[in-house]
Structure 1
Amino acid sequence: MVLLSVLDHVTRAMLVRRGVESRFVETPVGRVHVYDASGQGAAPPVVFLHGIAASSAVFAPTLARLRKQSRRVVAVDAPGHGLSGAPWVTLGPERLFEALSYVLDHELDAPSVVVGNSLGGAMALRYALRSPERVAGLALTSPGGAPVEDPEECERFLRGFVLSNVRDARDFLGRLNHAVPWYGPLVAPDLVRIFKNPSVRSILDGLEPKHFFAPGELASLSMPIHVIWGQSDRVIPPCCLGFFKENLPPHTVFLEPEGIGHSPHTEDPKAFADFVLRALERAS
């Protein structure tokens, strides 16, 4: 069953019909797919980075609305995800960041608001630390990258991404969302396949302590930062939210909505778009 792959291609056709460009960027790591759309607004460009085992298709409902406010909207498929090709090398966290940084460095022509979910949020923060002059603002949803100090809790956290069968996939969907969507049973077999993808596994299996943020590392970020962390998120341990509250700079705005889990962009696209628009206004 390849429903999620079909969804990627259907989304691509829909967005292209609406004037969104679908193209590929050759990076040192592999061929990366991007959506690129000009906007009608004067606000800074916006770029979307998805989470592990996802794709940029999850942001499709938000793109049209943001085009009215921003002068450009970009969404990136990580190597081995979505419509991007398989990486030419073993991926892992560092090569993933290399590929995404290459795309942002070569594609963005002005400081941009970087929107990142989960792993994409960790990549957005890492990019802002590396190239703060290129980031006008950050809008993060349940960002990854916070250390989990308790060994047992860390083991449970990482084990949650090992989907051996459909039952594991359904359990994952239950932790991902406030309520399992109606299509959950249909995509569960696909999730098992995706989480066994070598690109996905290389990222998860390649995680080391050096890939997590250290206390004090994020304090230098001066751009506007917005974080949304759904109260029903059961994918990332609560201690990670505590880490970000303690270590992101004081000007960071935190939102913790009820009835939302790990992926507000799919659970409540309108509220998610409002969240990004607020970040965009603050960065303008």
Structure 2
Amino acid sequence: MNTTRLPDYEVAGDADTTLFLLHGAYGSRAYFRPLIATLVRAGYRVVAWDAPGYGLSPLPEGGLSIEGLAEAATRLIQREASRFNVVVGHSMGGIVAPLASLHAKGLVQGLVISATVATFSRKSAQDKATFAEERIGPIRRGLPFKEAALPVIRGMLAPTSSGPLVDLVVDVASGMRAETFCAAIEAIVGYDGEDNLKAVSVPTLLIAGALDKVGRPEGMQSLTGLIPDARFVCIEGAAHYAFAEQPEAFNAALLGFLSELSAKHV
């Protein structure tokens, strides 16, 4: 297999500012469809990938690592960059995005990190083991992926979250390949990204759902102490998938940040 091929991706819109959307460990670019439409209508160009192993992108022979995902994202940025570029990473994508922005230094002018445990380096061995066991333990023991994933995915939503955008997230996230998901969780748990966060030099927006038990708001807010030029926004009534659970508030925070970035670079 050609391990240097770019992962599959789509391009929407035509503008001088390009947003690179990186999805989480559960899912693919498909659950970003409503967000992509919103961003294009707002005047942005969007590049949304299926990370290696996701969607139609093949799983690399050596498995997944955050460093490998960041390298692939960097090559995508280098290929599709426009005059002004912002990397938007959700969950696992938010772990990959800071490293990719460092690798593509000079091309990336902004960073958005959503619902992310940015590094597991501060977690105990027991916390890491529990995180992995809840997600991949049942799959390793033979439970079908969808049956194992649905309770976890629904548990990452706020109790009151519902509607077509939430249904889309659940459908996409529960329909992926088990092999890819297990490799992704192992990559996340094994990654120490604290030094990379400290090295981020572009303006950064940190978005957390107030009820998120994964990318906990207090944990994400603490990243303002690591990333020099970072601001934090908490979305009330949302948990892990704020872009689907509370889209108006999420979009307002994202578009406001993008507008300010654009004004600084006129």
TM-score normalised according to structure 2 size: 0.80
Query: In 2 relative to 1, CA 178–103 (structure 1 residues): closer, same or farther, beyond 3 Å?
Result: same
Shift of 1:51: 0.5
One-letter amino acid of the counterpart of residue 59, structure 2: P
Distance 1:242 1:130 in 2: 24
Percent identity over the alignment? 24
1:49 touches 1:116 (CA, 8 Å); kept in 2? yes
Match of residue 282, structure 1, among 236, 252, 260: 260
May I ask how many residue pairs the two structures share in their alignment?
252
2:208 touches 2:220 (CA, 8 Å); kept in 1? yes
Query: In 2 relative to 1, CA 225–31 (structure 1 residues): closer, same or farther, beyond 3 Å?
Result: closer
State the SS of the aligned residue for 1:104: helix
Cα offsets for 1:128-177 (capped at 9, x unmatched): 22223111111221124322422222222222322534664343123311
2:27 touches 2:173 (CA, 8 Å); kept in 1? no
**Root-mean-square deviation (Å):** 3.1
Which residues of 2 match residues 93-132 of structure 1 at below 5 A?
93=65, 94-132=67-105
Counterpart position of 2:123: 149
One-letter amino acid of the counterpart of residue 131, structure 2: F
Residue range with higher mean Cα deviation, 225-234 or 163-172: 163-172
Counterpart position of 2:32: 59
State the SS of the aligned residue for 1:32: coil
Counterpart position of 1:32: 7
TM-score normalised according to structure 1 size: 0.76
Distance 1:217 1:177 in 2: 29
One-letter amino acid of the counterpart of residue 274, structure 1: A
Counterpart position of 1:227: 206
Q: Say whether residues 1:79 and 2:87 are aligned partners.
A: no
Residue range with higher mean Cα deviation, 148-157 or 126-135: 148-157
Query: In 2 relative to 1, CA 201–254 (structure 1 residues): closer, same or farther, beyond 3 Å?
Result: same
2:77 touches 2:104 (CA, 8 Å); kept in 1? no
1:233 touches 1:260 (CA, 8 Å); kept in 2? yes
Counterpart position of 1:258: 236
Residue range with higher mean Cα deviation, 260-269 or 94-103: 94-103
1:230 touches 1:260 (CA, 8 Å); kept in 2? yes
State the SS of the aligned residue for 1:194: coil
Match of residue 91, structure 1, among 63, 74, 77: 63
Counterpart position of 1:194: 176
State the SS of the aligned residue for 1:133: coil
One-letter amino acid of the counterpart of residue 227, structure 1: L
Cα offsets for 1:160-200 (capped at 9, x unmatched): 3225346643431233111264788999798666362x222
State the SS of the aligned residue for 1:146: coil
Distance 2:68 2:199 in 1: 24
Shift of 1:240: 3.8
Structure 1: gaps spanning 5 or more residues: 1-25
